[in-house]
Amino acid sequence: MKPPQNPVHGCTEAAQNGRDIARMKDEMNKFHGPEGSCEAVSDMLSRIGDKWTVLIVSYLGNGPMRFNELKRGIGNISQKMLTSTLRNLERDGLISRTVTPTRPPSVEYALTEMGHCLLVPVSNLAAWAVDNRERIAAARSSYDARTPE
């Protein structure tokens, strides 16, 4: 579910509330603490930050799919990149791979419970990007206009 938007600023009302911002900062500070928490965040951001992971997780959010269905749906991904990304997602516990012993064997990929949980922040981030694309484009234009090349 998409958070309520403030049409003037494109931010959630909660993010504009000072107490909520302070609470978010406190939450973020725990990622910089001991026990490798920053490393864990960095590791997962590098995994989910690439476009293929986001696309694959998004497609599998609609239900299980076979390899060639994913390849056709995504379009310009190479077979090698799709295979590699699927293996990494399976290794991280975000998708499951089920082989049905037919001739040829049928392989189906599906989101795990953790993969379904990943859809929430990925969807929110995508919604934020779409909601703010004009503001981002304006900020880039302003920056480019005042910054010599």
**Strands laid side by side in the 95-100 sheet:** 65-66, 106-111, 95-100
Report DSSP state, residue 61. Answer: T
104, two tokens:
């040829």
Q: How far apart are CA 7 and CA 135, in angstroms?
A: 12
Q: Which fold has domain 50-146?
A: Arc Repressor Mutant, subunit A (1.10.10)
Range(s) within the chain of domains with CATH label 1.10.10.10: 50-146
pLDDT, one tens digit for every residue, the chain (149 residues): 344 444 434 455 555 556 677 776 666 666 666 665 677 777 777 777 788 998 899 899 999 999 999 999 999 999 999 999 999 999 999 999 999 999 988 999 999 999 999 999 888 888 888 899 999 999 999 999 998 87
